[in-house]
């Protein structure tokens, strides 16, 4: 299954004035109106656009670079020329970073005005070239491309049903099951916009999808809102991405978040919002605000930077420390550390130099790689920590690997005391929706008390965010915190695995 995998799409279409469609200024008014009213069930906005054939893949590249923090194992881009023959889809995907996979000559070969892209890290399903996305599927109705962020909890049942129906799988991901289900439903429906909601009723879990046919794009967010998705506009193009920072990267204006259970279809005839899958209960992943999302992103009306400042302030109120300075573990611990310092009045200092050419240790596929990455990723600034009592703030302790190494490094550099403060509650339960915490035996807090963990990592004191304080950080937003409290929003079949 594909973990925290990120969806990015855009569309450009010609303006056909002879069709009598709305003028540019009229459509702009509709866009501005829709920003303030996301609840309308209707065709909500479109600009019919100039056709520029070769720029799609370049903008996809910029968007994927902005989302690189969400996945570093593989990436891909699929494009379509809507003025060409049906099925005129070109794509390239491979293992590696975006900058490694896509060179100038490769981008030049990807011609089209409609496209989707994806960066991936694997939770299950394996880190192989075959599992790279977007997936491209040829079937009786034509060609389908899909990019998927999340995990399905009923994947084994779906796979068994599809296999007995004659499906042959080329990957070990649940994303391929979604693609097959859409193709199967499409045979019995008028269009892909009808096939996707039918598929959504069969799948359970957390997901954000972008699906591309040669003439249209469809984006869908799961009914709980577990995975993020937003839409923006750049001149004559619409852009959908997992995070708003990707919109900024391509110069697009943020319009709004796609709502949980909402499907957006973008075609030559306009943009249609379908909310038939919506439900009252929402469960946005709290770990997006603690760790995954980039600091300059906004999700569901909450700025990630502001949320992490509030996390640090709440942590300081719950677990103050007698110390000389506050520091954070780069990057996701830095902002919470600033909040901690603001609340306590202690000075904030940078105690680590970060090697910018090493990726996130949390999303490395193996424990051995995570250990190696910690050693080469961070180095202690000895003059800052020598002889000091330090509050060290990080976003989480999952396996204990990183924190134990960092404490040893700080004390070896002369720190007198290291008081660890964590801006998340203890990880006690696995995540089934796309975060790489697959089993209890990898969760240090599920096997040890807080005092035992403090001893194991070598800290002088240890304090976790109180679970009741999480809601104060995000206001009245409905959140999923099942990895902390065992209350899964999609509970049926949660133990399932491929």
- The answer for residues whose C-beta is within 8 angstroms of residue 269's C-beta and 6 or more apart is none
Query: Hunting for tokens 């603001």 — which residue is that?
Result: 342
**Burial per residue of 44-81, b for 16 or more beta-carbon CB atoms within 10 angstroms, e otherwise:** bbbbbbeeeeeebbbbbbbbbbbbbbbbbbbbbbbbbb
- The answer for residues whose C-beta is within 8 angstroms of residue 18's C-beta and 6 or more apart is none
- Helix then strand then coil, in percent of the chain rounded to 5, is 35, 25, 40
Calculate the alpha carbon distances from 204 to 74, 201, 437, 469, 493 in Å. 25, 8, 18, 29, 9
Q: Which residues pair with 328 in a beta bridge?
A: 393
Q: Which helix (H) or strand (E) holds 38?
A: none
- Angle, helices 174-186 vs 192-200, to 10°: value is 130
What span, in angstroms and rounded, lies between the C-alpha atoms of 484 and 481?
6
What span, in angstroms and rounded, lies between the C-alpha atoms of 24 and 172?
45
Q: Which helix (H) or strand (E) holds 407?
A: helix 401-412
> Is residue 100 helix, strand or coil?
helix
C-alpha 415: how far from its chain's center?
36
pLDDT the model gives residue 373: 63
Angle among Cα 373, 375, 378 to the nearest 5 degrees reads 95
- Report which of 479, 469, 228, 477 is spatially closest to residue 339, judged by C-alpha positions: 469
- Report which of 135, 137, 176, 174 is spatially closest to residue 156, judged by C-alpha positions: 174
- The answer for residues whose C-beta is within 8 angstroms of residue 495's C-beta and 6 or more apart is none
pTM: 0.85
- Report which of 233, 206, 234, 232 is spatially closest to residue 220, judged by C-alpha positions: 206
- Asked whether 184 and 52 are in contact (CB, 8 A), the reply is no
Cis bond before residue 300 (omega within 30° of 0): no
**Longest pairwise C-alpha distance within the chain:** 76
- Report which of 455, 443, 435 is spatially closest to residue 124, judged by C-alpha positions: 435
> Is residue 310 helix, strand or coil?
helix
Ranges of the chain whose pLDDT falls below 70: 1-55, 86-87, 123-125, 358-375, 436-438, 491-498
pLDDT the model gives residue 356: 77
What span, in angstroms and rounded, lies between the C-alpha atoms of 150 and 242?
11
pLDDT the model gives residue 358: 66
- The answer for residues whose C-beta is within 8 angstroms of residue 488's C-beta and 6 or more apart is 432, 480, 482, 494
| Residue 205 backbone phi and psi in degrees, to 5 | 140, -160
């Amino acid at each position: 299954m594909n973990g925290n995998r990120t969806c990015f799409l855009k569309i450009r279409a010609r303006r056909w004035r002879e069709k009598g469609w709305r003028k540019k200024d009229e459509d702009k008014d509709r866009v501005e109106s829709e920003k303030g009213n996301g609840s309308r069930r209707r065709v909500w906005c479109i600009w019919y656009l100039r056709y520029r054939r070769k720029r799609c893949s370049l903008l996809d590249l910029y968007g994927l670079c902005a989302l690189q923090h969400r996945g570093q194992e593989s990436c891909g881009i699929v494009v379509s020329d809507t003025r060409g023959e049906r099925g005129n889809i070109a794509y390239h995907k491979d293992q590696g970073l975006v900058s490694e996979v896509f060179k100038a000559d490769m981008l030049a070969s990807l011609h089209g005005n409609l496209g989707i892209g994806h960066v991936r890290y694997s939770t299950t399903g394996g880190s192989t070239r075959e599992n790279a996305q977007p997936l491209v599927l040829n079937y009786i109705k034509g060609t389908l491309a899909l990019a998927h962020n999340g995990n399905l909890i009923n994947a084994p049942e779906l796979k068994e049903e599809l296999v007995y129906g004659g499906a042959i799988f080329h990957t070990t991901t649940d994303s391929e099951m979604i693609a097959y289900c859409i193709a199967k439903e499409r045979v019995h429906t008028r269009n892909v916009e009808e096939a996707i909601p039918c598929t959504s009723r069969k799948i359970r879990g957390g997901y954000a999808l972008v699906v591309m046919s040669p003439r249209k794009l469809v984006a869908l967010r799961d009914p709980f809102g577990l995975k993020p998705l937003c839409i923006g506009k750049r001149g004559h193009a619409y852009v959908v991405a997992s995070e708003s920072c990707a919109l900024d990267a391509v110069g697009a204006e943020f319009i709004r978040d796609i709502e949980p259970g909402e499907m957006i279809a973008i075609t030559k005839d306009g943009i249609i919002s379908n909310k038939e899958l919506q439900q009252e209960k929402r469960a946005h992943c709290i770990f997006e605000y603690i760790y995954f999302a980039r600091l300059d992103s906004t999700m569901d009306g909450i700025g990630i930077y502001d949320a992490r400042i509030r996390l640090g302030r709440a942590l300081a109120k719950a677990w103050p420390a007698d110390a000389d300075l506050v520091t954070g573990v780069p990057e996701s611990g830095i902002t919470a550390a600033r909040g901690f310092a603001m609340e306590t009045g202690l000075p904030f200092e940078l105690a680590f130099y970060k090697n910018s050419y090493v990726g996130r240790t949390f999303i490395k596929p193996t424990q051995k790689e995570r250990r190696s990455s910690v050693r080469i990723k961070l180095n202690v600034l000895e003059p800052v920590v020598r002889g000091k009592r330090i509050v060290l703030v990080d976003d989480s302790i999952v396996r204990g690997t990183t924190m134990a190494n960092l404490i040893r490094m700080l004390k070896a550099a002369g720190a007198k005391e290291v008081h660890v403060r964590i801006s998340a509650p203890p990880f006690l339960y696995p995540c089934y929706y796309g975060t790489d915490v697959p089993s209890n035996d990898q969760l240090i807090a599920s096997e040890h008390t807080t005092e035992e963990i403090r001893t194991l990592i070598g800290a002088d004191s240890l304090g976790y965010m109180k679970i009741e304080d999480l809601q104060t950080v995000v206001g009245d937003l409905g959140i999923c915190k099942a990895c902390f409290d065992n209350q899964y929003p999609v509970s049926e079949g949660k133990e399932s695995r491929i």
